[in-house]
Structure 1
Amino acid sequence: MTITTRLTCFFLAMLLLVLVGFSVSMYGVADYYLNQQVDERLTAALNSICGMIETDAAGVEWEPGERRRVLEFPTYEDQLAWWIKDDKNNLIARSHDAEHTDITAFDNRNWQFAQRTIEATTSSSDDSQPMIGEASTKHAALIASAAISRKPVQAAQWQLIAWLVGLSSVVWLAAFASARYVCRWALSPVRSMAIAAEHIDFVDPSQRLPRVHTHDEVGQLTQAFNAMLDRLQESFERQRRFTSDASHQLRTPLTAILGHVDVALRHDRTDTDYQAILETIKRKGTHLSRVVESLLFLARSDREANLPRLVIVDLASWLPTYLTQWDDHPRHNDIQLDCDQSGCSRCVAQSELLAEILNILLENACKFSETGSPIVVSLNNDEDHILVSVADQGCGIDKGDIGNLFTPFVRSEQARQSGVEGVGLGLSIANRLAKTFGGDLTVTSERTRGSCFTLQLPKVSDDLMDD
């Protein structure tokens, strides 16, 4: 079932409920009004009839006389019947249309009745009984009865029902005829979005949904979907560049290894030549292994990269121990340690991976600075973080290259021109590891004056240490 059909059915169902509720309410109001009119007519007629009865202490007497014209009801005379009986159930008077003298002879469904008894008044100063004889017109009591027909009310009710049903049917059918068209028109932007989305493929990832110039949910959906497509295209382009660069970086050492093997197999060589070729193959193979390991690490998702077991590391005591690993490096004497032990120096990390971050930073500092220039490893802290910085006095980095410095396979212009070996993965790995520890890796640099990479790690509070 389409959205248009569901909306149409929902709208028609709600309209049907409204029409039924309106019709029932209108019928109830009209029924109350018509019955009230019948009651008022019947009460007025009964009052007029009782007005023709004379009452005194001697008895009750029916004396319409000249006032009989009051008993004529020209508006609804054919709908009204009345009669007067005495206390012995003898008929005294009746209307022209009162064929029945007994109230029970009328149909209760089609007639509405009212009855009133008029008795002789009594006086405390008169002990005698009323003078009622055969020749006398006095009666001990008279019973006035009236009945009014409900057929006009019933006819009006049926007519009202017919009008309500007819008008409601016309309105509902008109809504049925127009609701589907209105729903289709309202949902036409959604259909356009669906058609456009079906034609979007990765051959041309720049395709977007047509813009909807409305300020409603459909416009918001279009903007959100296009924003998602922008992010997907960016991710796709980044993945494509990553794949292309990775293929190039893997092909280069493989080509060198196969080239040396081909040269070695062309003719017999001395042991010294074979040893040189094997050393070259080993160096290229080691380089290829590092590239593969770096690619595997960067290919992991953030969930897989999270380390399950982290420990508290005191950097003030760990850094001097770590730098002893560089004692055999040719630039060991250029590396200096500036450790501020006045504040907290504890963080949560893994010492092996923390060493990998510093190895990457120190190797870059050694590559891009002159031998004999100082490389300073400093430890400081601020209110919330521990700061480990590696600063050199090398060639520096242009400001235009700093934004892409942590992107895989991206190397600065100075690195490419200097001829220093590298694949552009080290800083990407270091930045990924820093974020794994909940920290960050930043850089400040000035052309020809050197660079400073700073690793920010969250502090471990004293309360956590006590726990």
Structure 2
Amino acid sequence: MTITTRLTCFFLALLLLVLLGFSIATYFVADHYLQQQVEERLAAAMNSICGVIETNTDGVEWEPGERRQVLEFSAFEDQLVWWVTDEQGQIVAQSVNPFTSAPSGERDVTARLQAGDQLGNTWLIGQRTIETVPSTNRTSDRERSSSQQEPGKHAALNVTAAILLVPVQATRYQLAGWLGGLSALVWLVSLVAGRFVCRWALAPVRRIADAAEQVQPEDLSERLPPLATHDELAQLTNAFNAMLDRLQQSFERQRRFTSDASHQLRTPLTAILGHVEVSLRRERTDSDYRSVLETVRKKATHLSRVVESLLFLARNDQEANLPSLELLELRDWLPRYVESWSDHVRFNDIALTNETSAIGLVSAQPALLAELLNILLDNACKFSQPGTPIDVSLREDEGRVAIRVQDHGCGIATNELADLFTPFIRSTEARRIGVDGIGLGLSIAQRLARLFAGDLSVTSQAGQGSCFVLWLPQQVAEHGAK
């Protein structure tokens, strides 16, 4: 079942309850109003009939001749019957259309009306008794009661009136039919309109689903079309696009690992193969072979450390556990590291300067730190002319230790510094002079610096060289490695 169908069903069920409640409430209010109107008509008719009766101290007299117009009920005369009876129950007067085939007795008429007439119609009945006005002269009252009542005079008259309820019942049935019909019509119209509105409101969801189906693992650059509604759907679209960004970054990290691995493994592998090929060109002495094997062992060990480090870099931050962090005294370690470049053709151009008297204690992984500095020194050698100095210095500044590598080569344009650490980005000058590289070295160096809770900054000027500074937090000996 689609969301459109579920929403439509929910809306129609709720509307049905509302219409049902409204119809029932309207019916009962209208029924109460109709009943009240009938009762008011009956009370008005009773008052009119009682107005024809003359009441005094010598008896009660029916006088229709003098007040005939009072008994005219033109508005609902066909729905009203009435009769007047004396104290013995004999009918004194009655309406023009009395109850069909009613006996002359008042009790029989009332009983028949209460039970329903010959057609099964129901009536609303009202009764009232008009008695003689008592006199203040008790002697005359006793004499009058002992003598015969005057003709036309009665001790009391009973007035009974009844209104036919068939029109009221017919109005009730008609009202119920109208309410039911209108409710059904409103419900059917709401069915069509509600489904249309639901489909229109959920159209962005369908577009989001269609756009999401276009996203393929081979190309994660596709994004959902942004919505300008600033509602929950726009929030969903933004969240989904953010998720795609994270997925793309994850895939890029995997691709970058392959490129990083090839970039970092090529140099030691080339050195190993070169030494092996040279040793195989002709017969060597045992000492020569031992020297070659020692070089291969050193390069293989370095290669193993690089592979371990690259595997670590390929993991997510949550999965990464920095291997073998150690407390390094850079004052002693840095000279040994620079000495490891002794077999490089530019070794004599490298000048090490210690600008601090402190030991420069930092927490780092020696192999990764050496790889980071290898990248900086390698770039300094590639982008500066042989014979120009490459300055490596150590200093402290406000709780941090700085290793600076400065060359005096071609430099980098100021407008290219912002993207310098972006993977695969190479400066215009590097491409112009044809220096080998794929633009991954500095991005790897920056990631390594951040693994040590440090940072890598650069200042450069075209034609005057570049200066890279590795900032590392200074440690205290008793704290141990982090």
TM interval, shorter chain, is 0.7 to 0.9
Tell me the residue number matched to 2:342. none
Q: Greater CA deviation, 350-359 or 124-133?
A: 350-359
Tell me the residue number matched to 2:77. 77
Q: Greater CA deviation, 112-121 or 209-218?
A: 209-218
Tell me the residue number matched to 2:450. 431
Q: Greater CA deviation, 445-454 or 80-89?
A: 445-454
Tell me the residue number matched to 1:50. 50
The correspondence for 2:181, drawn from 153, 166, 169, is 166
User: What residue identity is the alignment partner of 1:35?
Assistant: Q
- Pairwise mapping of residues 63-74 of structure 1 onto structure 2 (< 5 A)? 63-74=63-74
Instruction: Assess if the C-alpha contact under 8 Å between 1:8 and 1:183 holds in 2.
Output: yes
In the alignment, the residues of structure 1 paired with residue 39 and residue 184 of structure 2 have an alpha-carbon distance, to the nearest angstrom, of 33
Asked whether 1:334 is paired with 2:335, we answer no
Deviation string 1:168-199 (CA, Å, 9 cap, x unpaired) is: 22332233345434433443443343233223
User: What residue identity is the alignment partner of 1:453?
Assistant: V
DSSP 3-state at the match of 1:97: coil
Instruction: Assess if the C-alpha contact under 8 Å between 1:245 and 1:409 holds in 2.
Output: no
User: What residue identity is the alignment partner of 2:364?
Assistant: L
In the alignment, the residues of structure 2 paired with residue 323 and residue 160 of structure 1 have an alpha-carbon distance, to the nearest angstrom, of 101
In the alignment, the residues of structure 2 paired with residue 372 and residue 301 of structure 1 have an alpha-carbon distance, to the nearest angstrom, of 35
In the alignment, the residues of structure 1 paired with residue 215 and residue 206 of structure 2 have an alpha-carbon distance, to the nearest angstrom, of 15
Deviation string 1:312-370 (CA, Å, 9 cap, x unpaired) is: xxxxxx99x5524446565896112177xxxxx9xxxx964388887677767777497
Tell me the residue number matched to 1:113. 125
Asked whether 1:445 is paired with 2:459, we answer yes
Q: Greater CA deviation, 365-374 or 392-401?
A: 365-374
Question: Shift of residue 372 of structure 1?
Answer: 8.7
Instruction: Assess if the C-alpha contact under 8 Å between 2:312 and 2:322 holds in 1.
Output: no
Cα distance, 1:204–1:355 mapped onto 2, change above 3 Å: closer
User: What residue identity is the alignment partner of 1:296?
Assistant: L
Instruction: Assess if the C-alpha contact under 8 Å between 2:363 and 2:475 holds in 1.
Output: no
Question: Shift of residue 10 of structure 1?
Answer: 1.9
DSSP 3-state at the match of 2:355: strand
User: What residue identity is the alignment partner of 1:94?
Assistant: Q
In the alignment, the residues of structure 1 paired with residue 322 and residue 302 of structure 2 have an alpha-carbon distance, to the nearest angstrom, of 26
In the alignment, the residues of structure 2 paired with residue 9 and residue 289 of structure 1 have an alpha-carbon distance, to the nearest angstrom, of 65
Cα distance, 1:286–1:430 mapped onto 2, change above 3 Å: same
Instruction: Assess if the C-alpha contact under 8 Å between 2:352 and 2:393 holds in 1.
Output: no
Deviation string 1:119-155 (CA, Å, 9 cap, x unpaired) is: 3333546564273534443333332222111110000
In the alignment, the residues of structure 2 paired with residue 302 and residue 221 of structure 1 have an alpha-carbon distance, to the nearest angstrom, of 26
DSSP 3-state at the match of 1:51: helix
Cα distance, 1:211–1:64 mapped onto 2, change above 3 Å: same
DSSP 3-state at the match of 1:106: helix
In the alignment, the residues of structure 2 paired with residue 126 and residue 459 of structure 1 have an alpha-carbon distance, to the nearest angstrom, of 129
Asked whether 1:11 is paired with 2:11, we answer yes
Asked whether 1:323 is paired with 2:331, we answer yes
Cα distance, 1:458–1:301 mapped onto 2, change above 3 Å: farther
User: What residue identity is the alignment partner of 1:164?
Assistant: L
DSSP 3-state at the match of 2:364: helix
Q: What percent of counterpart residues are identical?
A: 49
Asked whether 1:375 is paired with 2:389, we answer no
Asked whether 1:273 is paired with 2:288, we answer yes
Deviation string 1:66-96 (CA, Å, 9 cap, x unpaired) is: 3234223222222112222334444332223
Question: Shift of residue 42 of structure 1?
Answer: 0.6
Normalising to structure 1: TM-score of the pair?
Answer: 0.75
DSSP 3-state at the match of 1:112: strand
In the alignment, the residues of structure 1 paired with residue 263 and residue 371 of structure 2 have an alpha-carbon distance, to the nearest angstrom, of 22
Instruction: Assess if the C-alpha contact under 8 Å between 1:59 and 1:121 holds in 2.
Output: yes
The correspondence for 1:122, drawn from 134, 144, 148, is 134
Tell me the residue number matched to 1:463. none
Tell me the residue number matched to 1:97. 98
User: What residue identity is the alignment partner of 2:467?
Assistant: S
DSSP 3-state at the match of 2:153: coil
Cα distance, 1:325–1:213 mapped onto 2, change above 3 Å: closer
In the alignment, the residues of structure 1 paired with residue 403 and residue 272 of structure 2 have an alpha-carbon distance, to the nearest angstrom, of 35
Tell me the residue number matched to 2:347. none
Instruction: Assess if the C-alpha contact under 8 Å between 1:334 and 1:372 holds in 2.
Output: no
Cα distance, 1:257–1:87 mapped onto 2, change above 3 Å: farther
DSSP 3-state at the match of 2:407: coil
In the alignment, the residues of structure 2 paired with residue 419 and residue 334 of structure 1 have an alpha-carbon distance, to the nearest angstrom, of 29
Tell me the residue number matched to 2:119. none
DSSP 3-state at the match of 1:13: helix
Question: Shift of residue 16 of structure 1?
Answer: 1.8
Instruction: Assess if the C-alpha contact under 8 Å between 1:336 and 1:375 holds in 2.
Output: yes
Q: Greater CA deviation, 128-137 or 18-27?
A: 128-137
DSSP 3-state at the match of 2:319: helix
Kindly report the root-mean-square deviation, in angstroms, between the aligned alpha carbons of the 2 structures.
4.3
Tell me the residue number matched to 2:364. 353
Normalising to structure 2: TM-score of the pair?
Answer: 0.73
Question: Shift of residue 241 of structure 1?
Answer: 3.5
- Pairwise mapping of residues 268-307 of structure 1 onto structure 2 (< 5 A)? 268-305=283-320
The correspondence for 1:257, drawn from 248, 256, 272, is 272
Q: Which ranges of structure 2 fall in alignment gaps of 5 or more residues?
A: 117-121, 340-349, 382-387, 477-482
Tell me the residue number matched to 2:343. none
Instruction: Assess if the C-alpha contact under 8 Å between 2:446 and 2:456 holds in 1.
Output: no
Deviation string 1:29-55 (CA, Å, 9 cap, x unpaired) is: 321221121111111101101111222
- Pairwise mapping of residues 366-445 of structure 1 onto structure 2 (< 5 A)? 368=380, 373=391, 375-380=393-398, 386-395=399-408, 398=412, 399=414, 402-404=417-419, 406=421, 423-424=441-442, 425-434=444-453, 441-445=455-459
In the alignment, the residues of structure 2 paired with residue 112 and residue 206 of structure 1 have an alpha-carbon distance, to the nearest angstrom, of 83
In the alignment, the residues of structure 1 paired with residue 92 and residue 374 of structure 2 have an alpha-carbon distance, to the nearest angstrom, of 132
